[in-house]
Amino acid sequence: MSTQPIKLNKKHIDTIDINDALSKTIDGKSQKVISLIQKNIEELHSVAFANSLGAEDMVLVDLIRKNKLHVEIFSIDTGRLPSETYNLIQEVEDKYQFKIKIYFPNQEKVESYINVHGINAFYNSLDLRKSCCGIRKVEPLNRALKDKKAWITGMRQEQSQTRLTLKEEEFDETHQSQKLNPLSSWSELEIWAYIKMNDVPYNALHDQFYPSIGCAPCTRAISEGEDVRAGRWWWEDPQNKECGLHVK
């Protein structure tokens, strides 16, 4: 399976040819996503979507809202997000007429980390980077999922070498809940074709060669031919490129 990115910018998205075959594939895959989420709502009732505001997450927001699926949509504001991401939150709320539930990190833990290690200490070592992600992402996620029986992510197999075996549905031991990755088999082309077909809002940084967007200081644009997650924690080895949200 290729992990090579397509040429991500507005010009490329505009040139995607939505032919009948692609359109049918996307319709079929969209129905599967809806069925998977619906089945879990019926069986488990309490289902949440951890919306990390990437292109995939926008596809899921569109499917969930248009199909009136009873899913809590939440995001984590780490305090270090790019301004384009905040603009996207507002745009999504305006378009789909709902409020994304926002979880923040624990203020005392953030203050303590910064006062001991420094404002940008995550560049200094893998331990300090993981510890920052632990405080700003993992702890709020744990709180968000505390009473949830299932949670949805926008992860895909193609996104990185750490996700090649990603399943659509698995049991998440850490949160003792069902974990749904309904887009696991979608290609990047299919994601962007869906966005184009349905006029779905997306982060303006995608048009500037940011295929994967996290916190501002830990995300950079990529060059053609680089892995789609090469711009995340670019100073680290590829096998370390997870923030702890998706622990096996």
**Which residue in 151, 195, 226, 233 sits closest to 10, CA to CA?**
195
Told to check if 241 binds ligand SF4 by CB under 6 A, we report: no
For ligand SF4, give the closer residue by CB, 136 or 175.
136
Please, which residues bridge with residue 76 across strands? 103
What minimum distance in Å lies between the beta carbon of 137 and ligand SF4? 5
Q: According to CB under 6 A, which one of 100, 133, 228, 230 is a site residue for ligand SF4?
A: 133
Amino acid at 66: K
- Catalytic (active site) residue 243: yes
- Which residue's CB is nearer to ligand SF4, number 60 or number 135? 135
Q: Which residues contact 136 (CB under 8 A, 6 or more apart)?
A: 76, 78, 79, 80, 105, 110, 215
CB of 109 to ligand SF4, least distance (A): 12
Q: Which is nearer to ligand SF4, 218 or 228 (CB)?
A: 218
Amino acid at 60: L
| Contact stretch for ligand SF4 (CB under 6 A) within 94-102, 130-138, 185-193, 198-206 | 130-138
> Closer CB to ligand SF4, residue 194 or residue 233?
233
**Stretch 71-100 residues interacting with ligand SF4 (CB under 6 A):** 78, 80
Point out the catalytic residue in the list 133, 215, 218, 243.
243
Interface pick for ligand SF4 out of 49, 113, 122, 192 (rule CB under 6 A): 122
Our finding on whether 132 is near ligand SF4 (CB under 6 A) is: yes
The window from 42-50, 54-62, 169-177, 213-221 that contacts ligand SF4 (CB under 6 A) reads 213-221
Radius of gyration of the chain (CA): 18
Tell me: does residue 118 bind ligand SF4 (CB under 6 A): no
3, 214, 230, 231: residue in contact with ligand SF4 (rule CB under 6 A): 214
* Longest CA pairwise span in the chain (Å): 57
Q: Which of 50, 215, 222, 228 binds ligand SF4 (CB under 6 A)?
A: 215
Least CB distance from residue 176 to ligand SF4, whole Å? Answer: 24
Active-site positions read 243
Residues near ligand SF4 (CB under 6 A) are 78, 80, 122, 129, 132-133, 136-137, 214-215, 217-218, 243
